[in-house]
Structure 1
Amino acid sequence: MIRAERAADGDYRIVTLDRPAARNALTPADLDALAAAVAEADEPVVLLRGAGSAFCAGADLDVVADLDDPAAFAAHGQRVASTIESADPVVLAGVDGAARGGGVELALACDLRVATPAATFAETGVALGLFGAWGGTARLPRVVGEGAALDIACSARILDAETALNLGLVSRVVADPETVAREVADNDHDAVAAVRRLVRAGSRGESAEATERAEREAFARLHAEQFGDGDRGR
């Protein structure tokens, strides 16, 4: 089950993975509902979090065991992760408790990842004879570097919040991820969106020339919106 609601005290949407008894493991229906909850958000920021004591245990293993078309299931998860990555709002993963397998991959698709002191991360698929196939093999090395990514993915070791912070898997360790969602949402929404698009483009390997041109154009557009043509030269 996926719950989506506008925050009572800020301009952001909270999307909650709400299957606490299953550690918020995701079925195909949950994946579809998650993609819709993010894609349909009209708030400038979306906070993705899990109910109960876990963030997300990844794919529901009962579903995985009975798959008739494993490649199609992997493609399904990849599409959802891509939807999160390309969504208009800034998407923040607030990891409180365990993130495992697909849960890590969904967090990697988000723009920002913050952890509480209780957060842990692991790519445990190799222990089960599988591996995460929702885009994590591409996103993890972009975030933490190839060496650390191979260590995480091949060892199945569990990272605590401080280790995740030191590796760059998360940007902060905070008591409440909502404080970061509010912090981002309190800034100018157009400026934040522009910076997010530019950073994303650069990290995906767009040429420096193309990125710098887009940066100039975005800066000029925002400047015109803030100051107007008539205020030039003041």
Structure 2
Amino acid sequence: MIDSHADGRVRTITIDRPDARNALTWDGLDELEAAVAAADEPVIFLEGAGPAFCAGADLDVVAELDGDGAEEFAKRGQRVARAVETSSAVVVAGIDGAARGGGLELALACDVRVATPEATFGEPGVTFGLFGAWGGTVRLPRVIGEGNALEFALSGRIVDAETALEMGLVSRIVADPRSIATEIAENAPDALTVLKRRLRDDADRETRERREAEAFAELVAAHADDVAALRGED
């Protein structure tokens, strides 16, 4: 269900179940988590095969869950989203077609979300009595603000790429999202990792600023020759 291959500094991870709009089962979640954990490239490009990014949880699986099973399935999806969010790699979601429910939640866990003009987004579970539970209620307000998150989630509406851009749900609309992953991968890998950690840090302000200064000092020491070469070009 999950295909993973490297091309230079970019590891492409594809949810490869196009006949089911890349909906994820128990095994699919485990495979995705393993692929993210095994990546040692500085950038991961996450995509879906075929005409959808990811439809989220496989409804055939959800229909068979009892209360305990439903909680465990939610926790499994949350664990995978955390693996994406905390990966040392910069994770770029390339969203082409539908991102629904858990698929949208996986995209929210990524560091950068890039859409094609054909991309659409939604949390439609509320229309039939459910909601996405792979960390979406935590991340959605952080990404688009509480007001937008409440309206978007409670309405169950589907939005197109342009609306998603206006909401801040994606940062760019491009024909080839992979090009953004390649662009990011051209930068220094250690600086990418440090920047991701600093921007993701949710400690208090004083702690974040201290860590920022320490990380900057480490990078200056590591790239002293590069800095000297740049200075010589001035």
| TM-score of Structure 1 vs Structure 2, range by shorter chain | over 0.9
What is the CA-CA distance between 1:167 and the residue it aligns to? 0.7
1:26 alignment partner in structure 2? 24
1:58 alignment partner in structure 2? 56
- Residue segments in structure 1 that go unaligned for 5+ positions in a row: none
Alignment of 1:150-161 (within 5 A): 150-161=150-161
1:191 alignment partner in structure 2? 191
Alignment of 1:128-143 (within 5 A): 128-143=128-143
What is the alpha-carbon distance in structure 2 between the residues aligned to residue 36 and residue 43 of structure 1? 14
What is the CA-CA distance between 1:106 and the residue it aligns to? 0.4
**TM-score normalised by the chain length of structure 1:** 0.94
What is the alpha-carbon distance in structure 1 between the residues aligned to residue 72 and residue 32 of structure 2? 18
1:211 alignment partner in structure 2? 208
Alignment of 1:108-123 (within 5 A): 108-123=108-123
What is the CA-CA distance between 1:141 and the residue it aligns to? 0.1
1:72 alignment partner in structure 2? 72
What is the alpha-carbon distance in structure 1 between the residues aligned to residue 223 and residue 114 of structure 2? 31
What is the alpha-carbon distance in structure 2 between the residues aligned to residue 141 and residue 106 of structure 1? 15
Please give the root-mean-square deviation of Cα atoms over the aligned residues, in Å.
1.1
1:225 alignment partner in structure 2? 222
What is the alpha-carbon distance in structure 1 between the residues aligned to residue 166 and residue 112 of structure 2? 15
2:105 alignment partner in structure 1? 105
1:88 is paired with a residue whose SS is: coil
What is the CA-CA distance between 1:84 and the residue it aligns to? 0.8
User: Could you tell me which amino acid in structure 1 is paired with residue 173 of structure 2?
Assistant: V
What is the CA-CA distance between 1:186 and the residue it aligns to? 0.4
Q: Does 1:164 align with 2:164?
A: yes
Structure 1: 4+ residue segments shifted above 3 A: none
- Residue segments in structure 2 that go unaligned for 5+ positions in a row: none
What is the CA-CA distance between 1:88 and the residue it aligns to? 1.2
What is the alpha-carbon distance in structure 2 between the residues aligned to residue 2 and residue 66 of structure 1? 23
Tell me the number of residue pairs that the alignment of Structure 1 and Structure 2 aligns.
Answer: 225
1:6 is paired with a residue whose SS is: strand
User: Could you tell me which amino acid in structure 2 is paired with residue 110 of structure 1?
Assistant: C
Are the equivalent residues in 2 in contact too, given 1:39–1:88 (CA < 8 A)? no
What is the alpha-carbon distance in structure 2 between the residues aligned to residue 168 and residue 141 of structure 1? 11
Are the equivalent residues in 2 in contact too, given 1:102–1:132 (CA < 8 A)? yes
What is the alpha-carbon distance in structure 2 between the residues aligned to residue 118 and residue 195 of structure 1? 30
Summarize deviations over 1:48-106 as a string: whole Å, max 9, x none: 00000000000000000001321111111111111111111111110000000000000
What is the alpha-carbon distance in structure 2 between the residues aligned to residue 47 and residue 151 of structure 1? 29
User: Could you tell me which amino acid in structure 2 is paired with residue 218 of structure 1?
Assistant: A
2:96 alignment partner in structure 1? 96
What is the alpha-carbon distance in structure 2 between the residues aligned to residue 180 and residue 129 of structure 1? 37
User: Could you tell me which amino acid in structure 1 is paired with residue 139 of structure 2?
Assistant: R
Identity between Structure 1 and Structure 2 (%) = 61
User: Could you tell me which amino acid in structure 1 is paired with residue 14 of structure 2?
Assistant: T
User: Could you tell me which amino acid in structure 2 is paired with residue 87 of structure 1?
Assistant: S
What is the alpha-carbon distance in structure 2 between the residues aligned to residue 67 and residue 81 of structure 1? 20
